[in-house]
Amino acid sequence: MEKSQYSGPVCEFETAGPCGIVIFGASGDLTSRKLIPALFELYVRRRIPDNFFIAGVARSALDTETFREVVENAVDRGVRNIKPGQKQGFIKRCYYLSGQYDDDSTYRELKDLTGTLAGKYETGGNIIFNIATPPNLYKVIVSKLGTNSLVEKGQNKDPFQRIIVEKPFGTDLETAQDLNSFFLEHLSEDQIYRIDHYLGKDTVQNILAFRFANLIFENVWNRNYIDHVQITVSEKLGVGHRAGYFDQAGLVRDMLQNHMLQLLSLVAMEAPAKFDAELIRDEKVKVMRAIRPFTGVSYPSTILRGQYKEGEVEGEKISAYRKEQGVKKNSSTETYFAAKLFIDNSRWEGVPFYLRAGKALKEKKTQISVIFKEVPHSMFVDDIKENPLEPNVLTFGIQPQQGVFLKYQAKVPGSKMCIYPLQMNFNYADYYGVELSDDYETLLLDCMVGDQTLFWSKKGIEKSWALITPLLQEWEKSNYDNKKVKLFFYKAGSTGPREADRMIENDNRKWILS
């Protein structure tokens, strides 16, 4: 890590008060990979106090002792630079309850356990239930928590009882609405924290700071100066062990409905009157409302679906999606999509937003590029015939490059007036000399302190589903007819189907991946 160039004030993290966390799905992959390492980091960095415990619940026949081994392994695997003696205080605060999710006795035992632990660790009864199970269990867990009086509906409750729920939240508009009504029977909206881990990334939150805490860009942030916007989420991994879920879902549900619409909203939203969870979430909903509906879209010039064939990513063989374990032989599930969206409001009228995402591609990269218009008249026209002026491009690197990069024209040293683009780079790690905190750390801490800014609201999640559901229904109705909604195949390890390049090239533009 580079030495920090930053000389401003230390940005103090918030510190949570006493509370217990119950994790449903405690023996699962998400708990080991994300939740435990994040909670450990928060604990050792004193973002959460000693008045804290974790109660894991799952069907697996573990006990507290064996669960603590799972926790220790998860910490060893997921956390770097653990200092001697740091693990024990954390591990001894972890407990386990094995039980069926639909069995009242599990919840009665859980009530006893959390009651005892609340007394032991003096958490004041504050509690978070983190539902990290497959989505088909969300309803039964929430309902049993309600009927067994582990949660009680109420606004601003003290002690607090909150629920964190993972994605996917629904599979279309109807199921999302149904899930929302169901949750809201047992909880009030301020008790529900719907996760989108992209919002926990500093680089994503920086979009708001960049746009609304600086004057220079906000004034040109509109259709008069911006030619188009590109959002790319390129992943190297195929679907691997998640094939069972993924084959039902597809990439539009997996990435567009949530992470990518969130990114787009942050780029396109208006500034609310103040930095307030409700106001920010409302502004994002307004963007989603203004996105031109996906009805009667043309394929593949506006929406394109793709699927990976056998190939190699960085020398490693990847089998065709249809050959992955758990995938139907003739599956027409998309592992890639590209789309051209328009936002029908006065700021963005006529500005295309090109979005693309794919699995098993050449690179892992998430970025947003804002491509400005060309200068209206160039006085250099006689001097630079060979290299015409290129437009400015502002790129938000979300990952793995984390920062903001601005491409602009500069004079090349020499006696002649030679002009060539260069890039001004701000890299988080170089500048601040620290690793950015993990998205789950941010989100778990926010839930503990009761800040919902980085979570989906009911309106937001329903609006995003309302937008993409007609598209999904059209595909289903056509029975994924390959003539109408063609599936373009691409080689694993490539940059995606050639037709995705054509989509943007037909508009005299090209994809940027800096």
**String marking each residue 244-273 x if it binds ligand BG6 according to CB under 6 A:** ----------x-------------------
Catalytic: 259?
yes
In this complex, which beta carbon is closest to ligand BG6, that of residue 94 or of residue 255? 255
Q: Establish if 166 lies at the interface with ligand BG6 (CB under 6 A).
A: no
d(CA 470, CA 187): 29
**String marking each residue 125-164 x if it binds ligand BG6 according to CB under 6 A:** ----------------------------------------
Six-digit token string for 3 = 């030495």
Closest residue to bound ligand BG6 by CB: 254
CA gyration radius for the chain?
A: 24
- Of 236, 317, 229, 322, which Cα lies nearest the Cα of 496? 236
* Residues forming a β-bridge with 161: 127
In this complex, which beta carbon is closest to ligand BG6, that of residue 34 or of residue 47? 34
Q: Smallest distance from the beta carbon of 140 to ligand BG6, in angstroms?
A: 22
Contacting residues for 127 by C-beta, under 8 A, at least 6 apart: 19, 20, 21, 22, 114, 118, 150, 159, 160, 161, 162
In this complex, which beta carbon is closest to ligand BG6, that of residue 128 or of residue 398? 398
**String marking each residue 174-193 x if it binds ligand BG6 according to CB under 6 A:** --------------------
Q: Smallest distance from the beta carbon of 366 to ligand BG6, in angstroms?
A: 6
Contacting residues for 366 by C-beta, under 8 A, at least 6 apart: 232, 233, 234, 397, 398, 399
Counting residues that bind ligand BG6 (by CB under 6 A) gives 4
In this complex, which beta carbon is closest to ligand BG6, that of residue 153 or of residue 167? 167
Q: Which residues ranging from 339 to 398 are in contact with ligand BG6 (CB under 6 A)?
A: 366
Q: Using an 8 Å Cβ cutoff, are 374 and 391 in contact?
A: yes
Q: Smallest distance from the beta carbon of 254 to ligand BG6, in angstroms?
A: 5
d(CA 185, CA 178): 11
In this complex, which beta carbon is closest to ligand BG6, that of residue 171 or of residue 409? 171
Active-site choice (186, 228, 259, 377): 259
Contacting residues for 124 by C-beta, under 8 A, at least 6 apart: 17, 18, 19, 51, 118, 159
- Of 183, 204, 202, 186, which Cα lies nearest the Cα of 194? 183
Q: Smallest distance from the beta carbon of 21 to ligand BG6, in angstroms?
A: 21
In this complex, which beta carbon is closest to ligand BG6, that of residue 241 or of residue 498? 241
H or E element at residue 471: helix 458-477
Contacting residues for 440 by C-beta, under 8 A, at least 6 apart: 34, 35, 37, 38, 197, 200
Q: Applying CB under 6 A, which of residues 235, 334, 441, 462 lies at the interface with ligand BG6? A: 235
- Please tell me whether the peptide bond between 9 and the residue prior to it is cis, using omega within 30 degrees of 0: no
Q: Using an 8 Å Cβ cutoff, are 368 and 389 in contact?
A: no
Q: Smallest distance from the beta carbon of 475 to ligand BG6, in angstroms?
A: 19
Q: Smallest distance from the beta carbon of 33 to ligand BG6, in angstroms?
A: 11
Q: Give contact residues for ligand BG6 (rule: CB under 6 A).
A: 167, 235, 254, 366
Question: Which sequence positions are flagged as catalytic?
Answer: 259
